[in-house]
Amino acid sequence: MKASSSALDATEILDLIREAIRAAMVPTRVPVDEVRTGATLAEIGLDSMGAVEVAARLEEALGIRFPDDQLARVSSVEDLIAIVQRQLRIGA
Amino acid sequence: MAATAALREKIYRAYMDFFDGAEKKRRWNPFHDIPWDRHDPARNSEDKAVCVETFCGVELYVPDYTSNGFQLTREIFGQAWFQANWGYEESKHALVFREYLTRTGHRTAEQYLAFEEKILGRTWNLPFRTRRQMTCYGALQEVATYLIYRAQRDRARAEGDALLEAIYYYVSRDEAAHMGFYREVLLLEAEDDRPGTLADLAHVLMHFRMPGVGLVPEYEARLATSGVGITPQQFLEFGIFPTLRKLGTSRSELLAIRRAQLASEETRPPVREDVATAVTAG
């Protein structure tokens, strides 16, 4: 998985998040295809290290780096999308 | 894995610092230092009872925690003596929670004993096999417990509940000290064997569960009660990331180690149950 865009929209990032969850092989409470923007990480079933693994997959795919303090505040898919967009803008 | 003489000496020094601090600053008496006379029955609530009862349930496994812990640490003075001191302090936590439940009327003596019987009808077993892995576990578990008690203390303070605030103040202060000791020992372990320590930490992080899971009755339902648990975000910010920083590592390095472990596990034949049991017992 290697994306190459500094201007991905939310839908594209959501697809990448689903792909990252699959690649991380972390157990989830819902099928990965049903992961929606409004879902919390708790609803998906991502615990602390699950979130770290998914974040790492996104970082590798997009060539970005999430600051630890920001990653520690991610509690939903929406938060994750926002942090990806922010880091893509910084890197653009 | 035997600890070197140098490592044992460093752990002893770390324990001396811990013990000296405990003796000078942290000793407290559940009967005389807690303002029992400030209990206000009008402030009783089932939420508070569920929280304290759950914490009490987890602390009631002190006999299992200590007996298992001693099996792993008995050859290392600093860690074995820490285990003894730790057991003493945790036993006070169970005691003060028990006293709170019955003195305040949140639970009758009969209700408490029925709960205790359920708890002690189950046994806590070591979640990890080696002393160093259990040190990793201790560092993470103690910070989680500290954060939970600290949040309860802040909540009690905001609600003007002086009794609960005092209880949570003392127990959270103890947990913070325990966390500090475990982190210190983990750093010493990393100085002694960095690859091995990080491999253990990666393994423990991926399999971490709080000690009450699967033991305390209706644990999942209790977690739904405000304040019984902490969020994954809090655990990351105050538990996992500071531990990684203390060891001079990063989540990227830990994940790389974990992926290598998983790849290795995939190519290795499954461990027979009797072998796994023998390793645990040894």
- Residue-wise pLDDT tens digits, B162-192: 999 999 999 999 999 999 999 999 999 999 9
Residues of chain B with pLDDT > 70, as a percent, come to 93
CATH number of B5-281: 1.10.620.20
Q: Looking at residue A25, which CATH number applies to its domain? A: 1.10.1200.10
Is residue A4 included in any domain, yes or no? no
Q: Which pLDDT tens digits describe chain A residue by residue (92 residues)?
A: 445 556 788 999 999 999 999 988 888 899 999 999 999 998 999 988 899 999 999 999 999 999 999 999 999 999 999 999 999 988 76
Is the CB of B231 less than 8 angstroms away from the CB of A74? no
Is the CB of B251 less than 8 angstroms away from the CB of A72? no
Residue A76's DSSP bridge partners are A40
Is residue A87 included in any domain, yes or no? yes
Express each pLDDT in B20-45 by its tens digit: 999 999 999 999 999 999 999 998 99
Is residue A69 included in any domain, yes or no? yes
Per-residue model confidence (pLDDT) at position B204: 95
* Extents of the domains making up chain B: 5-281
- Residues in B closer than 8 angstroms to A75, CB to CB, are 231-233
Is residue A1 included in any domain, yes or no? no
The answer to whether residue A49 neighbours chain B at the CB level (below 8 Å) is yes
| CA B250/CA A52 separation, integer angstroms | 11
- Model confidence at B273, pLDDT cuts 50, 70, 90, reads very low
Range of lowest pLDDT (A37-51, B6-20, B88-102, B188-202) = A37-51
The answer to whether residue A23 neighbours chain B at the CB level (below 8 Å) is no
Residues 6+ apart with CB under 8 A from B32: none
Residue A40's DSSP bridge partners are A76
- Model confidence at B227, pLDDT cuts 50, 70, 90, reads low
Q: Which domain holds residue A33?
A: 10-91
Is residue A70 included in any domain, yes or no? yes
Express each pLDDT in B196-219 by its tens digit: 999 999 999 988 888 888 888 888
Q: For chain A, how many structural domains are there in total?
A: 1
- Model confidence at B267, pLDDT cuts 50, 70, 90, reads low
Report the pLDDT averaged over residues B69-83: 96
Per-residue model confidence (pLDDT) at position B269: 52
The answer to whether residue B267 neighbours chain A at the CB level (below 8 Å) is no
Query: Which string of DSSP letters, residue by residue, matches chain B?
Result: -PPPHHHHHHHHHHHHHHHHHIIIII---TTTSS-GGG--GGG--HHHHHHHHHHHHHHTTHHHHHHHHHHHHTT-HHHHHHHHHHHHHHHHHHHHHHHHHHHTTSS-HHHHHHHHHHHHTS----SSSSHHHHHHHHHHHHHHHHHHHHHHHHHHHHTT-HHHHHHHHHHHHHHHHHHHHHHHHHHHHHHH-HHHHHHHHHHHHHT---TTTTTSTTHHHHHTSTTSS--HHHIIIIIIHHHHHHTT--HHHHHHHHHHHHHHHHHSPPPPHHHHHHHHH-
Task: Annotate A59-90 with b (16+ C-beta within 10 A) or e (fewer).
Answer: bbbbebebebeebbebbbbbbbbebbbebbee
Report the pLDDT averaged over residues B128-157: 95
Cβ(B58)–Cβ(B106) under 8 Å?
Answer: no
Query: What is the distance in angstroms between the Cα of A53 and the nearest Cα belonging to chain B?
Result: 7
